[in-house]
Amino acid sequence: MTTSVEDEQRWISETLERLSHSQFRDKFQLADKDRVYARAKGKATIDRHAREMLRDRVGAAEPKNDGRQTPWRGHPVFTAQHATATCCRGCIEKWHHIPKGRELTDDEVNRLADLVMAWIERDLVNHPARWFVKS
Ligand SMILES: [Zn+2]
């Protein structure tokens, strides 16, 4: 994994581009409810959630229920994890080349959280807030 901000930005755009070629990953989008929630909580809070949730759910060497620990919906970060292949250690190994069986470093958690946040941000930009939203 690389260190500079430019490198990370490049890694994020290349990874989002790579994910867009997967029919499975590409079909995810946030539910209206999640968009309303994300906007109401604000970026700093969702960003904190992303880091906490990745650390808690995929950070350990052998996460609990690995492969099934990430619900499909219920929080914007959950949906974003499936879309960015950060949902379980199998997907993280396959897509992001971080081996299973060892704890994620802080750098790795932060980088994957940045990817999740970039995906959420892109979804929000592509779906501007409307006056009336069913939730
Ligand atoms: Zn997975």
Q: What is the DSSP string of the chain?
A: ---SHHHHHHHHHHHHHHHHT-HHHHT----HHHHHHHHHH-HHHHHHHHHHHHHHHH-SSS-TTTTS-S-SSSSHHHHHHHHTT-SSHHHHHHHH-PPTTSPPPHHHHHHHHHHHHHHHHHHHHHS---S----
Ligand 1 mean position, distance from CA 68 (Å): 7
Looking at the whole model, is its pTM more than 0.85?
A: yes
List CB-based neighbours of ion ligand 1 within 5 Å: 87-88, 91
Compute, in angstroms, the gap from residue 130 CA to the centroid of ligand 1: 32
The CA 91 to ligand 1 mean position distance, Å, reads 4
* Res 134 pLDDT > 70: no
Residue 1 has pLDDT above 80, yes or no: no
Separation of CA 132 and ligand 1 centre (Å): 34
- For 86-125, the pLDDT digits (tens) are 999 999 999 999 999 999 999 999 999 999 999 999 999 9
Is residue 20 scored above 80 in pLDDT? yes
Instruction: State residue 12's pLDDT score.
Output: 97
Cα–Cα separations (whole angstroms), residue 113 to 8, 91, 94, 132: 12, 15, 17, 30
The residue among 85 and 4 whose pLDDT is bigger is 85
Interatomic CA distance for residues 48 and 121, integer angstroms: 14
